[in-house]
Structures are given as C-alpha cells and as structure tokens.
A = this chain, B = another copy of it.
Amino acid sequence: MRENTMIFEDRINNWDEVTDVVVIGSGFAGLSAAIEAHEAGASVIVLEKMKAYGGNSIISDGGIAAPGTNLQKKHGINDSADMMYKDMLKAGLGLNDPELVSVLVDNAKDTFEWSIDYLGVEYLDRVDVFGGHSVPRCYTAKNIAGATIIKKQIEKMNEFNMKVRFKSYSKNLIYSSDERICGVVVRDDYDYKNPEKGWDINIKAEKGVILASGGFGSDVAFRKAQDPRLSEKIDTTNKPFATAEVIKQAINAGAAPVQLSHIQLGPWASPDEKGYGVGPQFSEYIVFQYGVMINPVTGCRFVNELSDRKTLSDKLLSIGHPCVGLADGKAVEDSGWNIDSSIKKKVVRKFDTLEELASFYEIPHKNLEETLKKFNKSFEEGFDKSFGKPLIENAAPIVNTPYYGIRLWPKVHFTMGGIRINTNAQVMDLEGNIIKGLYAAGEVTGGVHGASRLGSCSITDCLVFGRIAGKNTASISTC
C-alpha cells in the first residue's frame, strides 16, 4: 500500500484501543484541543511522534496577539477585533479566509484571558507592536518562551490525569463504512531516525480525530514541490520533525489543501548558524532599521531594508546567494541591543575599518564605499533616492567605526497553507463538504493567515482553533 493513504475500516482486523477523541500533536493547538475535549466530557488520547511534548511550539518565543485586553487598556492602547482583522487581511494580501479570521479575532481576547485565568500563564507586563500590527497588541509569555505556555497546558493535563503518549506516530487515518474518520493506525514506540522500529496499533476514535500536527517547514520534498526555490539549500527555523505526513494523510482522506505554496521565510536569518539562532536580533533590529543590505558580488544595495519579510526574502532568493547586512558602531550603540553573544558565536563580525569588512566578505571595496556615500547622502536629501527606505528616528549616516557585518540568507519559518477547515474546525473536502469525524487546528490548517502571517498571530490561532476543535469533537460527532 502507498504510504500515508487512508485505510477503510473493513480492512481493520481489530481495534487495539477505543477512545472518544484522538489528538495528533502536542503543541499549542493539540494540548488546547485535548484540554477542551476533556472538559466537555470526552476521553482523549494525545499522540506525539517525538520523545517529548511541545513540538515546534516549545521553541517559539511565546508571543501572542489579542485586541481589547486589559493590558492594552492599562497602557492606554485603543484596539478592536475589527482593527486586528484588517491588519491580518492586509498582511495576508487578502487571501485569508475572512470567516476564519473573524473567529480568530473575535475569540482572541477571551482565549488570551483563558490562558491567564484558567491555565495560569504569566506574561511580561508590556504590550509590543510587531511589524504589520497597527497598534501594540502582542504579549510575551514569561521567559520569552513558548515553553511557558506549554508547561502550563501540561500541568492542566496532569490535573486531569491526562498524558501525552510519546513516540506515537500517526500512520493512516481510518475511514468507516458510514463515511467518517473513525480512527488512526499508530506506529507505537516510533523512532523517527529508525522508522522501521516499533509496531502498529489501531486506535478507534468514537467521536473523532483532531489533527494538530503543525506545519511542514522542515519537509524539503513537500515544500519544494509547492515552492521550487525552497530546496535543501534553504535552512529552516523549525525543528527537523516539522514534516508533512499528517497533511498528506488528510489530503489522501479527501481533505482540501489550501494555499500550500504560501510559505513564510525569515530574511533576518544567518547561514552561519543553525535554526533561528542569535543573528536575527542584530539583523532585524539594527541592520534593517539603521544599516544596509549589500550584495557582496556588486557591492550595491538591492532593496529597501525596511520592506516586509516576504519582500526581503524574495529579493534575497532572486539574487541567489547570501547578502551582507552592515551597520556601524553608532547604530549598535543607539539601538540599545547587546550583541555580544552573536559576536562570540561569530555570526556577527566586528571590523575596525570598512576596508577590513569589505575584504572579509569579498565585497568590491570601492563599490561599497560608493554605495554608502550614496546612502549617507539620503540624510542630507531627506529621502533614500535609491530604494525609498524610510529614514527612521535616530537613523544616521553610516560613518562611525567599528563596522559590524552579518551574512543573511532566508530560512523557512512558517507554512501558511494546509488543510481546509470551517469555523467549527471541521476539515472540509474538495467539494466544500465536511469530512465527518475529522477536525484540525493550528499550523496544519490553511487559510487563516493568507499569503503572509503576522508575528504573534500563530499562538492565537493555535489556542483559539485548538479549543474550538476540542469542544466540537467532543460534542458534534459520533462515529
């Protein structure tokens, strides 16, 4: 049989286990779904293919967006669900599913409060504005870590005597004779480095299966089929197990895929370290704001450095090799950021003169001087004639030693596309009908973020739709 295909119930010899709800994945969405399904009275099994809970969620920085919160009021910020809706559609280039966005923004405040009051998550006492949000509405979990939220979700599960079942890999969805998803074939004792290990068991899900398996940022073959630029030459900020097998199982079970080719890249990433790393702080908050991005082959700029993520990443990919992000000592000082660790790790490099920097990165020195001269003239002229980069407060001509450099090359960060759901988190087929017994939430779904996701909207998405999926699976469907 082909991999990842659907299996019909009549080919199942026996059920090894029976439960009401099976949740695939133990990140933000999966744990929210499990908790709500339990609260609604269902028995729940949470499958996690790895040896620990949390998936990609646990390495996120714990930023969550919500409009109209008390924390905003305390800081005197006026905001509304409608304003957040508009921001998300603008960032998503209008490709977002408007109904799903409405559900997200309408439930964001309650869900944020739920995370505080019910789960006990603590947030920093600040409200930030991330790129693309029209007002500050982003909150950061204590320790600047998604792990802070995940741990509280696990604590709640422990209260309920619920456990995440590790090394349990979803292999196939099972389809009943009355046209529902009614279970999962699970590889037990699974080892992702040795997939032959372990044995298969059949778990019946009387009420339904919830897909909360995350995105496919690390699945080179799958992402490359959708965006041929994203070969193995492009790293990812995701963990290596962020792969597409559950998305494939869902599509093979009839689920409609939506917008799979919309994949977000982080242009702030450096090829001189693995994953997200330490470089982005320097590139995003110093280079993009105060510095310039240089094509080392020509010594010239090639883009307005304050463009959005998508524009910067697309430009980088189109020049075909890493660029050099450059800023001077004054910019580093004025920014207030401490970049010692990125210098120690040799991701950011410090040079006494511009010539040394040019020589290190093999940039034609004369051209680089010309480029900076031209850029610096913007401050006299009041306008960046070359690329129209806004001259922000505190920005100044790049003339003060030392000089700092970083190599930049985009990394896959988030997959906006996935399987189609309706506002009840029910999975929909290619005809626009629901697939009974099948639910999904979080990065595995598509349509919420359209062509580009705003920072801090992913956790909101996971919690809001995870909770909806959990509640509905427990109540709507009987397999």
Binds B, one of A57-65, A108-116, A368-376, A425-433: A425-433
Say how far A54's CB is from chain B's closest CB, in angstroms. 27
Q: Is A362 an interface residue (CB 8 A)?
A: no
Binds B, one of A93-101, A337-345, A390-398: A93-101
In the complex, the answer to whether B2 meets A179 with C-beta atoms within 8 Å is yes
Per the bound structure, the CA–CA distance linking A317 and B429 in Å amounts to 27
Per the bound structure, the CA–CA distance linking A94 and B320 in Å amounts to 11
Q: Is A226 an interface residue (CB 8 A)?
A: yes
Q: Is A229 an interface residue (CB 8 A)?
A: yes
In the complex, the answer to whether A254 meets B2 with C-beta atoms within 8 Å is yes
In the complex, the answer to whether A431 meets B2 with C-beta atoms within 8 Å is yes
Q: Known contacts being A94-B229, A225-B420, A259-B226, is A2 close to B429, with CB within 8 Å?
A: yes
Across the interface, A222 reaches (CB within 8 A) one of B244, B254, B430, namely B430
Question: What per-residue 1/0 map shows which CB atoms of A131-160 lie under 8 Å from chain B?
Answer: 000000000000000000000000000000
In the complex, the answer to whether A98 meets B179 with C-beta atoms within 8 Å is no
Chain B CB within 10 A, most for which of A98, A259, A317: A259
In the complex, the answer to whether B98 meets A432 with C-beta atoms within 8 Å is no
Contacts of A222 in B (CB 8 A): 430
Q: Is A399 an interface residue (CB 8 A)?
A: no
Contacts of A447 in B (CB 8 A): 228
Residue in B closest to A100 when the chains form the complex, CB atoms:
B228
In the complex, the answer to whether B251 meets A251 with C-beta atoms within 8 Å is yes
Residue in B closest to A3 when the chains form the complex, CB atoms:
B431
Report the contact-size class of chain A (Cβ under 8 Å from the partner): 35 or more
Contacts of A429 in B (CB 8 A): 2
Determine how many copies of this chain the complex contains: 2
Per the bound structure, the CA–CA distance linking A225 and B259 in Å amounts to 9
Q: Known contacts being A226-B259, A262-B261, is A430 close to B4, with CB within 8 Å?
A: yes
Per the bound structure, the CA–CA distance linking A226 and B95 in Å amounts to 8
Contacts of A258 in B (CB 8 A): 225-226, 260-261
Question: What per-residue 1/0 map shows which CB atoms of A295-325 lie under 8 Å from chain B?
Answer: 0000000000000000000100110000000
Contacts of A261 in B (CB 8 A): 95, 258-259, 261-262, 417
Across the interface, A221 reaches (CB within 8 A) one of B257, B259, B417, B432, namely B432
Say how far A351's CB is from chain B's closest CB, in angstroms. 33
In the complex, the answer to whether A94 meets B257 with C-beta atoms within 8 Å is no
Per the bound structure, the CA–CA distance linking A15 and B404 in Å amounts to 73
Say how far A8's CB is from chain B's closest CB, in angstroms. 10
Q: Is A256 an interface residue (CB 8 A)?
A: yes
Contacts of A431 in B (CB 8 A): 2-4, 221, 248
Q: Is A227 an interface residue (CB 8 A)?
A: yes
In the complex, the answer to whether A432 meets B254 with C-beta atoms within 8 Å is no
Q: List 16 A–B pairs whose Cβ atoms lie within 8 Å, in order of A's numbering.
A: A2-B254, A2-B429, A93-B314, A94-B228, A94-B229, A94-B314, A94-B318, A95-B229, A225-B432, A228-B447, A251-B257, A252-B430, A257-B257, A257-B260, A259-B260, A259-B261
Q: List 5 tightest A-B contacts by C-beta distance, closest first.
A: A259-B261, A248-B430, A94-B229, A97-B228, A221-B432
Interface residues of A (CB under 8 A from B): 2-5, 93-98, 179, 221-222, 225-229, 244, 248, 251-252, 254, 256-262, 314, 317-318, 417, 420, 428-433, 447
